[in-house]
């Protein structure tokens, strides 16, 4: 069982008008909406993070989807399922962290239920007024693939931070990169407010290689990218965009890492290695191997 196969099954049942990007763009309502969940012992361990860090990251990963769409973060709802021994101090610290990750949004509601473990589900809404919304299917041949220049040093740091936690390490710079991702509001805004053409943008929640592959596949193009150390690491929450080369004259603070080509015999090329199948990237699968 694979996550992508499950998504395909869902599309077969409900259609794909709104499915395909990390945010659903409801044009008639002027909003984008996204939802993500964090599950104890799958996405986090209580012994590895404080309630503040857990609240911060739970909200930040959803705000990242809003920024990847090009929208302005507006509203958040939080549903918590908590064990019966959870204290008020835990909940207060969790929400204190959550408030620090809003990037201009407001928490407007949610739900609390009992559970054997901690389950967190966050829904995020973004305002599209004055913004051109991205789609991973909008990359075109001739486009350049860019990230914010300051993001280069972040690539792969979160995965290294996770490894630090797993090995009882103490490199707090790496651990903080994993537990407290810093999002790039300015990069999202400068693209979506000034661009006129269709463009593709994603975050690297599942890794830079994952984002490049999914953009290329959805857009029915190929992408050549330089190989960057940490390109297969996940949870960096960097924004990567495919935009027209002419548009780059209007912005600054970016680094070109690749280019979009007409469809080749491969989907993406990282350095000298070509990939034509998502499984070849050997990225994390929530549901284990092929037969699980």
pLDDT (tens place) for every residue of the chain, 292 residues total: 565 566 566 656 655 655 667 899 999 999 999 999 999 999 999 999 999 999 999 999 999 999 999 999 999 999 999 999 999 999 999 999 999 999 999 999 999 999 999 999 999 999 999 999 999 999 999 999 999 999 999 999 999 999 999 999 999 999 999 999 999 999 999 999 999 999 999 999 999 999 999 999 999 999 999 999 999 999 999 999 999 999 999 999 999 999 999 999 999 999 999 999 999 998 755 434 443 3
- Decide: helix, strand or coil at residue 27: helix
Q: Which two tokens stand for residue 192?
A: 């979506």
DSSP state of 39: E
CB burial of residue 171 (10 Å; 0-12, 13-18, 19+): middle
Which candidate, 80, 30, 23, places its Cα nearest to that of 51?
80
With b meaning 16 or more CB within 10 Å and e meaning fewer, what string describes 94-132?
Answer: bbebbbebbbebeeeebeeeeeeebbbbbbbbbbbeebb
Residue 6 has what pLDDT? 63
β partners of residue 145 = 242, 258
Structural domains of the chain sorted by starting position, each given as residue range(s) with its CATH number in brackets: 22-127 (3.30.1330.10), 144-281 (3.90.650.10)
Q: Sheet of 31-39: strands edge to edge?
A: 24-26, 31-39, 119-127, 72-82, 106-114
Q: Which two tokens stand for residue 35?
A: 């939802």
State how far the Cα of 85 lies from the Cα of 159, in Å rounded to an integer. Answer: 31
| Beta carbons of 44 and 61 less than 8 angstroms apart | no
């Amino acid at each position: 069982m694979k996550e992508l196969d499950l998504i395909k099954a869902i599309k077969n049942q409900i259609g794909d008008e709104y499915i395909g990007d990390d945010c659903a763009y409801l044009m008639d309502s002027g909003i984008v909406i996204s939802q993500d969940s964090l599950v104890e012992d799958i996405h986090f361990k209580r012994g590895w993070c404080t309630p503040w860090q857990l609240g911060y990251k739970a909200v930040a990963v959803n705000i990242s989807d809003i920024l990847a769409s090009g929208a302005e973060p507006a509203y958040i709802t939080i549903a918590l399922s908590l064990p019966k021994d959870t204290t008020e101090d835990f909940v207060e610290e969790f929400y204190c962290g959550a408030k620090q990750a809003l990037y201009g949004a407001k928490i407007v509601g949610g739900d609390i239920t009992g559970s054997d473990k901690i389950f967190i589900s966050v829904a995020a809404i973004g305002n599209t007024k004055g913004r051109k919304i991205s789609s991973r299917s909008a990359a075109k041949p001739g486009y350049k693939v860019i990230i914010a220049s300051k993001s280069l040093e972040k690539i792969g740091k979160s995965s290294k931070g996770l490894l630090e936690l797993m090995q009882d390490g103490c490199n707090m710079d790496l651990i903080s990169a994993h537990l407290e991702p810093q999002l790039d509001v300015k990069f999202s805004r400068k693209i979506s407010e000034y661009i006129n053409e269709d463009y593709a943008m994603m975050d690297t929640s599942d890794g830079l290689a994952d984002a490049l592959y999914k953009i290329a596949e959805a857009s029915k193009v190929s992408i050549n990218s330089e190989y960057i150390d940490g390109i297969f690491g996940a949870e960096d929450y960097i924004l990567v965009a495919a935009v027209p080369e002419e548009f780059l004259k209007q912005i600054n603070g970016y680094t070109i890492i690749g280019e979009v080509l007409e469809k080749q015999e491969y989907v993406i090329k990282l350095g000298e290695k070509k990939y034509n199948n998502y499984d070849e990237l050997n990225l994390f699968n929530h549901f284990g191997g092929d037969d699980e």
